[in-house]
Structure 1
């Protein structure tokens, strides 16, 4: 005999596998597209640039503030001691180059002298 009952079981099953896949893919996407360059804690207003490439860890970070203060890593260095501090940091870290972050108000003369 045919069952014509009006009582049906509700469809309450919800498969979370698809949702978990989408969430993990979004997480991987945002992790890969985020910027992993470590920022120093020194406030420097950087000028706008058209294009840039991420810096590698093999560089000595140097920052010049708008007031003309020099920072090698997190340590403030006097202008006359800058060359010595750069050589010491290069030997310590085995760095191949220099990563210069200058405030937009800083002049080239401050670093070149």
Structure 2
């Protein structure tokens, strides 16, 4: 006895795109939230260029040395003699210091920041720009 699978209904030829649009929107939101964003710093310095760079940790203290030798900790200007106490105050549980020094900053200024970080037991990383990236103007 043969089975008859035929029906009197016509096959569904259209489908709603609302579900597909919801999925695309959710994927877009997911990728936007999980992509890494480049933080924009308010103090402009000309970073030295290198061939490769080390990734920085998400939790760090930022110290900037400008072309004219001013120090900034977390975008707040700090006198050189107050650098260690300011770092101690803003450090919290962060153990990495990222130094963003202008190309014209001196080795003396870099050594001063490095010694303050060492006194607090912090790891110091030097922020640079990749050599194949043109500077932002």
Q: What TM-score comes out, normalization by structure 2 length? A: 0.57
Give the secondary-structure state (helix, strand or coil) at the position aligned to 1:61.
strand
Q: Any conservation in 2 of the 1:45–1:104 contact (CA below 8 Å)? A: yes
Which 5+ residue runs of structure 2 have no aligned equivalent?
1-12, 113-137
Once the two structures are TM-superposed, the CA of residue 95 in structure 1 deviates from its matched residue by 2.6
Q: What is aligned with 1:30? A: 32
Change (3 A) 1:103 1:32: same
Q: What is aligned with 1:5? A: none
Change (3 A) 1:89 1:67: same
Question: How large is the RMSD of aligned CA atoms in angstroms?
Answer: 2.6
Which 5+ residue runs of structure 1 have no aligned equivalent?
1-10
Change (3 A) 1:31 1:69: same
Once the two structures are TM-superposed, the CA of residue 83 in structure 1 deviates from its matched residue by 2.0
